[in-house]
């Protein structure tokens, strides 16, 4: 079992913000700025004299251009910096809900926002008042009304991890070597270099004896004991024996497992659905998974049937991209690239010398030495004239022409760093 999996999961969970940008509308031209001015939920980021602000689509100013940097609005709030080291949150009216006086601030989670000041973490309420003082060496956001916190436990500076509630009561003592936030009413905790689960009362409900333990997701997790992995259900009982060398999370009802050096898939009852026969697999997405014999790649469905035979090359760092994006998967064979649909049928023939997966209905493709863009029917929508081209994101993509990097919209019109092209 790769220990990086649980480390990455821990870091991502502890640092993640629950809010995410939504309903991104097209960017506007930003020739004078050379920066990202965008619409999100009808709010436009603005720029002048080196500072940023926001206005509505009808021109009504929400926040004047006074901030040296801003995030994007997420669930009605936006993170802004008045100057370096002075961060806060504004709402959709431009009001500073949290004044710009903190070294760092998070978005609200369970009604509280984590802040960082003077090398310690605390929490603010939605009125911007300190709900929990900044006394913790480390802290996660609140999940299920509890947050992981770390305190110094001895004169040597060692840390103990526990949980507080929204009243700043230490409801689970800080006696653990590490802890992860609650998900599905369970929290993974570490003691004496072993992992187990506790419930909301702090009661140990899965013995702390496992070398690795994933967070519960959709009623399933994995555990490693004596070097072998097993699938664990919501009742905290092993669904499979501890016989697997590695295991991925359950996705679309199937779990990738590794045995005798090869990967296959089991269902959530522990029954083998696809025999362990592949050197490499991805999780299932839209009913399909990437599989590889170690050198060539293909795609299977949930019955294990190959909808795309293992005849295609790894395409370098894009080997992870052999899944459906906008309904099409990128494949490569003999140095030529094309796209297939979910049935393994070619929509775009193997005719390009390079390509990237689809993003927002567009894919960058190289015809000879020049890059352009096609749509999901294979039609060329932006002619191949660029030295390099990237993915579309929020209606824009980065390209290079005559050695100048700039951004274009989906019509091929320059919207950033355009003056340098003249």
Whole-model pTM above 0.75?
Answer: yes
In 3-state terms, what secondary structure has residue 15?
A: helix
| Tens-digit pLDDT string for the chain (422 aa) | 454 343 333 333 333 333 333 333 444 445 455 456 666 777 888 888 889 999 987 889 999 999 999 998 988 999 999 999 999 999 999 999 999 999 999 999 999 999 999 999 999 999 999 999 999 999 999 999 999 999 999 999 999 999 999 999 999 999 999 999 999 999 999 999 999 999 999 999 999 999 999 999 999 999 999 999 999 999 999 999 999 999 999 999 999 999 999 999 999 999 999 999 999 998 998 888 989 998 888 889 999 999 888 888 755 455 555 577 888 888 888 889 999 888 888 999 999 999 999 999 999 999 999 999 999 999 999 999 999 999 998 888 999 999 888 889 999 999 887 877 76
Name residues whose C-beta falls within 8 Å of residue 170's C-beta, 6 or more positions apart in sequence: 149, 162, 163, 164
Q: Which residues face 320 on adjacent strands?
A: none
Asked whether the beta carbons of 229 and 246 are under 8 A apart, the reply is yes
Asked whether the beta carbons of 143 and 158 are under 8 A apart, the reply is no
Asked whether the beta carbons of 322 and 329 are under 8 A apart, the reply is yes
Q: Which two tokens stand for residue 195?
A: 């992992």
User: Residue by residue, what is the 3-state secondary structure of 357-377?
Assistant: CCECCEEEEEECCEEEEECCC
């Amino acid at each position: 079992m790769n220990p990086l999996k649980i480390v990455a999961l821990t870091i991502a969970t502890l640092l993640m913000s629950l809010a995410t940008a939504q309903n991104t509308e097209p960017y506007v031209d930003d020739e004078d700025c050379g920066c990202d001015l965008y619409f999100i939920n009808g709010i436009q980021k603005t720029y002048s004299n080196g500072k940023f602000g926001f206005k509505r689509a009808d021109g009504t100013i929400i926040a004047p251009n006074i901030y040296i940097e801003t995030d994007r609005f997420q669930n009605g709030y936006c993170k802004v910096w008045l100057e370096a080291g002075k961060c806060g949150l504004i709402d959709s009216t431009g009001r500073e809900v949290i004044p710009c006086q903190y070294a760092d601030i998070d978005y609200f989670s369970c009604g509280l926002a984590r802040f960082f000041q003077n090398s310690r973490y605390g929490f603010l309420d939605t009125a911007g008042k300190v709900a929990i003082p900044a006394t913790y060496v480390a802290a996660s956001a609140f999940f299920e009304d509890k947050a992981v916190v770390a305190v110094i436990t001895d004169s040597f500076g060692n840390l103990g991890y526990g949980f507080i509630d929204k009243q700043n009561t230490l409801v689970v003592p800080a006696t653990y070597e590490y802890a992860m936030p609650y998900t599905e009413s369970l929290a993974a905790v570490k003691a004496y270099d072993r992992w187990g689960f506790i419930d909301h009362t702090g009661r140990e409900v899965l013995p702390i004896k496992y070398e690795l333990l994933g967070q519960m997701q959709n009623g399933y997790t994995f555990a490693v004991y004596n070097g072998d992995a097993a699938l664990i259900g919501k009742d905290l009982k092993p669904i499979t024996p501890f016989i697997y060398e590695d295991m991925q999370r359950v996705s679309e009802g199937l779990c990738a497992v590794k045995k005798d050096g090869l990967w296959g898939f089991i269902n959530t009852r522990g029954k083998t659905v696809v025999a362990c026969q592949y050197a490499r697999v991805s999780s299932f997405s839209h009913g399909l998974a990437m599989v590889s014999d170690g050198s060539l790649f293909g795609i299977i469905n949930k019955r294990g049937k190959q909808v795309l035979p293992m005849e295609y090359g790894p395409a370098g760092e894009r080997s992870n991209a052999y899944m459906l994006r906008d309904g099409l998967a990128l494949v490569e064979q003999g140095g030529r690239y094309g796209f297939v649909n979910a049935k393994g049928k070619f929509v775009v023939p193997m005719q390009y010398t390079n390509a990237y997966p689809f993003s927002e209905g567009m894919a960058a493709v190289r015809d000879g030495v020049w890059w352009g863009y096609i749509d999901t029917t294979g039609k060329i929508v932006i002619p191949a004239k660029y030295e390099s081209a990237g993915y579309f994101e929020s209606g824009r993509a980065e390209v290079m022409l005559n050695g100048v990097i700039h951004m274009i919209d989906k019509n091929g019109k320059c919207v950033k760093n355009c003056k340098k092209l003249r």
